[in-house]
Structure 1
């Protein structure tokens, strides 16, 4: 059985989409663990309710400690694929090096537009609306040493309507994220 380790910082709706796809047999794998960036997030509740082991990163750890902790947990959970599902911390280069082309991220825009440091969540959608874009969407890409710069695997586009607000656009795109991310995971794991 192939192992997925998910990293999350928020409600965990993309994490839930992965759990559901595994449950339906669309992804031939199991989630061996969740790395949470902070306590009290929805993703942890989802992990507990599905009996998935989770680990909460220590607050204010140094880059070296962060790297050591991640590598230790990843060794324990032995991932074939690491999925960043709304994870807001930068992955240390030591981790990227050890798991090169085995870490993917979902981003709520059509990269390379509206990506990079500081572009996450509602900030992305606000920038898209403010720029008067007619389309946006979501991107799954490999993670490298630079924010949102890894090779693009797949994208889904949505129309930005004249009456869209950052919030309505976020809802539209999140629905697509919940389809795109499990689809890409299935393609990567089921075909390897």
Structure 2
């Protein structure tokens, strides 16, 4: 997941490209402070950089996804949170082919996701695993053990998120994660490609 501030002077699209070169398999563009126009430009830039190699999603903003799609950008979908546009409406707007991820942090939220019509949600983003500075309003941290309990109750793929570093990757995989989403571990790294490569090595070991 991208963080414009943590990328610093480096272009977000360049950091995304480096991460993909290191083994990242999906990029989610997130910038909650950007204007609609700036977020659209950012999403299109990232899609132009890596959309031909991995799925590119945008956080929260169904309207920005649709605008980027209308502009011809190779964007794959959206990730929505519990306080964003209801996921059923998001699916109706983006169509059946787009990827939709949904945040879930509690038993109730996981159960509610499974009550949705089949095909509404493609994966759950489950966390926060640890406290994280990149999302001030993150839910109470789950830890790896609690994450494993939630995953065991889910038939949807569960991607772990929230303060994850390299040492967490293998335990989360063993707890049932379908993948891990990171922000600081790549965006704040001196070498995003090497950072992503290290995460991939842990996952595949």
What is the TM-score normalised by the length of structure 1?
0.35
Higher helix share: 2
Q: Could you say which structure has the higher strand fraction?
A: 1
